[in-house]
Amino acid sequence: MKHDKYKDNNLRQYLSFFRMRFIAGLQYRAAALSGISTQFAWGVLGLLLYKAFYETDPNAFPMTFQALASYLWLQQAFLSLFMAWILENEIFQTITSGGIAYELCRPIDLYGMWFVRSMANRLSKAVLRCMPILIFAAFLPSPYGIGLPPDPIAGLGFLLTLVLGFLVVVAFCMLVYISTFFTYSPTGIRMVAISVVEFLSGGVIPLPFLPDKLRWLVELLPFASMQNVPLRVYSGDISGMDILAKAGLQLFWVVALIWLGQSITRVALKRVVVQGG
């Protein structure tokens, strides 16, 4: 088949697309600077808040204070990898205003193209922002700063689950983008999706703080496979074989969400109506 000849070369298309989005993302320096300062402030406020709780009753705390501090700082440093609200307005506009006509004129799979694009967008933001925050947090006195992971396995496990969690986030956001094909206005789904993810992924409070009965269920959902896993692996809250079990669940969600996204895209493209002109 003619198509197969090109398959091994697909990577170059995607890499090139990734590079383009990455370069474009690096252009926004002022946004990065203001992002960093917001995230410093947010991290400090979070710490002060939890400190007050901790001083009242340390036994009611499901994590050590040091583990919680690491959780908060890593969350701020890698915010752009994990926050569901970092969605690209350009993709929504492409669908609602009809710019998608051009995207569909390219010999490339639309889902793959947007997936790579979202990854590049988030990574370019993270690259600009994570180091200042991590360095700052590393110099804070214990237990307020970020500590090293308890052992090398936790460090490696962190990297593995970080990548998987990132893919879960991107695959989930793809569903939000694709839903625009069916609703014409992305606002509603966007708001609901963002608030649900924010809470159920441990973005508002870490998941160990939830009541046990609820937590059991929440931990199985794809949202818990996002920032929850890598951040808790780093601080030692998840360790040993649990890391592998969680990583397995993450992998399952990556595959499931991508499969779902691609299937919906196929249906959407059959009935796509390019708006205007």
Partner 1 sequence: MIEVKHISKTFRVSRRSAGFSEAFKALFHRQYECIKALDDISFTIEDGEMVGYIGPNGAGKSSTIKVLSGILTPDQGQCNIDGRVPWKNRIEHVRDIGVVFGQRSQLWWDVPVIDSFELLRDIYRIAARTYKDNLEELVTLLNLEDIIRTPARQLSLGQRMRCEIAASLLHSPKILFLDEPTIGLDAVSKLAVREFILQRNKTHKTTVILTTHDMQDIESLTKRIILIGKGKILMDGSLEEIRKQVETSGQNADELSIDEIVASLYHKYQIS
Give the binding site for partner 1 (CB under 8 A). Answer: 2-3, 6, 9, 12-13, 15-17, 20, 23-24, 27, 98-102, 104-109, 270-274, 276-277
Q: Least CB distance from residue 35 to partner 1, whole Å?
A: 18
214, 206, 230: which is closest to 65 by C-alpha? 206
Least CB distance from residue 28 to partner 1, whole Å?
9
Minimum distance, C-beta of residue 20 to partner 1, in the bound complex (Å): 5
Compare residues 123 and 134 and give the one whose CB is closer to partner 1.
Answer: 123
What is the residue type of 190? R
Query: Is the Cβ of residue 26 or residue 49 nearer to partner 1 in the bound state?
Result: 26
CB of 99 to partner 1, least distance (A): 5
Q: Residue 26 corresponds to which amino acid?
A: L
Of the pair 27, 59, the CB lying nearest partner 1 is at 27
* Comparison of 10 and 142: residue with beta carbon closer to partner 1: 10
Shortest distance in whole angstroms from residue 220 CB to partner 1: 37
Residue 94 or 201 having the CB closest to partner 1:
94
Q: What is the distance between the alpha carbons of residues 5 and 76, in angstroms, rounded to a whole number?
A: 44
| CB closer to partner 1, 12 vs 213 | 12
Query: What is the distance between the alpha carbons of residues 198 and 148, in angstroms, rounded to a whole number?
Result: 26
Q: Which long-range contacts (CB under 8 A, 24 or more apart) does 44-53 make?
A: 46/72, 47/72, 47/144
The dihedral over CA atoms of 62, 67, 68, 69, expressed in degrees to the nearest 10, equals 160
Q: CA angle 199-160-39, nearest 5°?
A: 45
d(CA 166, CA 216): 22
CB of 163 to partner 1, least distance (A): 24
Q: Which is nearer to partner 1, 101 or 163 (CB)?
A: 101
What is the DSSP annotation of 198-256?
HHHTTSSS-GGGS-HHHHHHHTTSGGGGTTHHHHHHHTTSS-THHHHHHHHHHHHHHHH
- Maximum C-alpha span of the chain: 69
Min CB(100)–partner 1 separation in Å: 8
